[in-house]
Amino acid sequence: MKKKKYVILGIVTVLLVTVVGVLAYRMQQDKKKEKIKYDGYTDENQETNYITYKGEKYKYNYNLRTVLFMGIDKEGEIEEKKVGDGGQTDSLVLFAMDTEKKTTQALSVSRDTMTDIRTYDMSGEFLSTERAQLALQYAYGDGKAKSCVLTREAVSNLLYQTPVNSYVALTMEGFSRIADELGGIRITVPQDYTHINPAFKKGETITLNGKMAEQYVRYRDTSASGSNNERMERQSQFIETLVKQLQINMKEKKDAVHLYRKMKPYMVTDISEEELEKMINYEFEGKVEKVPGTVQKGEKYDEFIVDNEKLKEKVINMFYKHEKR
């Protein structure tokens, strides 16, 4: 009888060891996959061909080349940082360039958008997926390529797996440097922003030098709920004007590569100099569109809640074509 008990105990022990071993192996493989995907900066765009909306089928427009622009709330040059020290994305704009029509559209995403982001510990090991402000995703990377890839993935998922082909991240000092390199950015102030700078009077047409440009796109009254929406309006206006001015300057002086090299210390991108020269000739269409939704007060900070129905419609209009039956 005692011998039989030992046999049963031995079998149970072997089974437990096997189960634990399998679980440990799977966990290790999952961690390896995470590391390959995010530390290796592999581009795993979901090749989502179709989307259905109100009974109609739409096919993704593969003539599009999408580039995610990120304005990072960091001074100085871009440097590799540990988790939590790389900054956050204060500005997010997805540019969609039609390689057939040679036109560009843009979609602005609020930094406060509540969405799924991937979290990591201080050693860079994956922890979990949590719902939080989109701006925080950049901070869970290394302040460079990994941060960009993580944010690109989060934006793609938010926009119903819309492929995001490339990225450009620019520090706030980079904004300032671009403005100075172009001899200033000329804008008409839409509202009274004299609380930011006395020169920002409603209706005044002014030329923003580097310092003024940084003030214009960066200022936000964090004590006032919804203040990021006002800042996004200024950022959209600035980006629209900047793109148009860049196109004029590049066509006249043909120095896109010169500016690209000047900005390198303040920028992270996977776009080559040759690709940039081609992109700059695309005509910018209309105004910067915005992800629809509403702002609500969170426990600590504002939370932007996306209107999923309206967003789906906007995504279809910008990135898809109606599939004819």
pLDDT in tens, 120-171: 999 889 999 999 999 999 999 999 999 999 999 999 999 999 999 999 999 9
Q: Residue 209 domain-assigned?
A: yes
Report yes or no on 317 lying in a domain: yes
Contact predicate 83/122, CB 8 Å: yes
Range of the domain at 117: 41-322
Q: What is the C-alpha to C-alpha distance for residues 308 and 64, in angstroms, rounded to an integer?
A: 23
Q: Is the pLDDT of residue 3 over 80?
A: no
Distance from chain centroid for Cα 139: 12
End-to-end CA distance of the chain: 74
Residue 201 and residue 162 in contact, taking contact as beta carbons nearer than 8 Å: no
State the chain's mean pLDDT as an integer. Answer: 83
Model pTM greater than 0.85? no
183 burial via Cβ count (<10 Å: 0-12, 13-18, 19+): exposed
Query: CA–CA separation, 272 vs 275, rounded Å?
Result: 5
pLDDT higher than 70, residue 4 = no
Residue 253 domain flag: yes
Q: How many CB atoms lie within 10 A of CB 131?
A: 9
Number of domains in the chain: 1
Q: What phi, psi does 290 have (nearest 5°)?
A: -130, 145
Span 83-97, average pLDDT: 93
The one-letter code for the residue type at 60 is Y
More confident site: 23 or 56: 56
pLDDT tens-digit readout, 42-60: 333 444 588 888 889 999 9
> Can you list the alpha helix ranges (DSSP code H) found in 254-285?
256-263, 273-279
Is 103 within the bounds of a domain?
A: yes
Q: Where are the alpha helices (DSSP H) in 89-209?
A: 136-139, 145-158, 172-181
- Identify the helix (H) or strand (E) that includes residue 230: helix 227-253
Average pLDDT for 197-214: 95
The verdict on residue 212 lying in a domain is yes
Predicted local distance difference test score (pLDDT) of residue 46: 43
Give the model's confidence band at 325: pLDDT under 50 very low, under 70 low, under 90 confident, else very high.
Answer: low
C-alpha span between 236 and 187 (Å, rounded): 12
Neighbours of 272 (CB within 10 A): 11
The answer to the question of residue 22 being in a domain is no
In a domain, 29, yes or no: no
pLDDT over 90 at 249, yes or no: no
Q: What is the CATH number of the domain that holds 276?
A: 3.40.630.190
Provide the 3-class DSSP secondary structure of residue 52. Answer: strand
For residue 31, tell me if it sits in a domain: no
What does the pLDDT look like over 263-289, one tens digit per residue?
999 999 999 988 887 787 788 877 889
